[in-house]
Structure 1
Amino acid sequence: MKRRLFAGACIAAAAGLAGTATMAINADAAWTSARNGSAPGWFAADSPQVSVDRQGEALRACTAGDLSTTYTGARLISRSGAFGAAKTLTSDGRVPQVDVRPSSRFTVI
């Protein structure tokens, strides 16, 4: 009886590993050249945060400024790597935290 249970457990474990090893992952990623993610005339100050949803869309948020004022800004990044428009979230330069829900809704705190 013990041998049958052990053999059954081994077969189940092997089937689970085989299923995991054959799972295909769709990856369109490729390294590109570095780009400035801040708005024109701004510099990224510190602590960039990025969150990526299941479809490959991302939101990047960080503190940035124009040498006189520091802002908290965010920018969407499409699956293809194209940057959306830079949005100012606050004018007090808070360090943001970013997260995404399974429904692809991004949140910045």
Structure 2
Amino acid sequence: MDEVEKVCSRTIILNQGYLVLDKSSQELANLDVPATITFTSKKSRYNDLQKNWSQLQLLENGNYQLSGISHNEIMATLSKITAKIPIDNIEVKSGKLEYLLAHVGKAGERQ
């Protein structure tokens, strides 16, 4: 989505022939799309970490993941994680395109 925002002035998404999204790149850039924080901590245990974050998931590769973090909560969540946990690696992703495709109107619902 970052590349789309750089190249295009407008983004249109169709679903089964119906227009479900028509926004300028500026409008898309300002969307508050939930982020996902993924981190690795070899010295932490899942059960201990889950006490602080009920939505914490343990991934198959041994990483931990917090999903649905609002834009306004990212910095506070990162601060809380790094203050309590010895972090080996941490990554924040905001999958704007994936979010839009999953959450914009369904076929037959016009916006």
Normalising by structure 1, what TM-score?
A: 0.23
The structure with the greater share of residues assigned to strand is 1
Bigger relative contact order, structure 1 or 2 (CA pairs below 8 A, ≥6 apart):
2
Normalising by structure 2, what TM-score?
A: 0.23
